[in-house]
């Protein structure tokens, strides 16, 4: 999966960038694209295993190796979601 910043924004919006999530093939399986403001749990080598998931727990005090919280407060919301 590839996640990159793009200058492709909705006309008339105040945003300057957007995120482009591109699915890619890993061996024989197309990997789904994921963008999260939480934690990605890779609990199994099997893609179908429910222990592989993302979650956001706003009450958690857990931090990453840089000391940043896993659930960053967001004070705004996306103005759109675009698929093409």
Domain count, the chain: 2
Same domain, 57 and 69: yes
Task: Examine residue 81 and state whether it is found in any structural domain, yes or no.
Answer: no
Using pLDDT thresholds of 50, 70 and 90, give the confidence band for residue 77.
confident
| This prediction's pTM | 0.47
Rounded CA separation 19/81 (Å):
10
Rounded CA separation 37/58 (Å):
10
Residue whose C-alpha is closest to residue 82's, from 32, 18, 4: 18
pLDDT of residue 1: 63
Same domain, 43 and 58: yes
As a whole number, the mean pLDDT across the chain is 79
Task: Examine residue 78 and state whether it is found in any structural domain, yes or no.
Answer: no
Residue 78 confidence (pLDDT) above 60: yes
Same domain, 12 and 29: yes
Same domain, 41 and 68: yes
Residues spanned by the domain of 21: 1-35
Residue 2 confidence (pLDDT) above 70: yes
């Amino acid at each position: 999966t590839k996640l990159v910043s793009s200058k492709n924004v909705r006309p008339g919006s105040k945003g300057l960038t957007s995120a482009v999530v591109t699915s890619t093939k890993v061996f024989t399986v197309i990997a789904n694209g994921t963008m999260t403001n939480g934690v990605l749990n890779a609990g199994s080598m099997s893609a179908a295993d429910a222990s592989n998931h993302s979650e956001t727990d706003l009450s958690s005090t857990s931090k990453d190796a840089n000391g940043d919280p896993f659930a960053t407060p967001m004070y705004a919301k996306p103005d759109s979601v675009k698929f093409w």
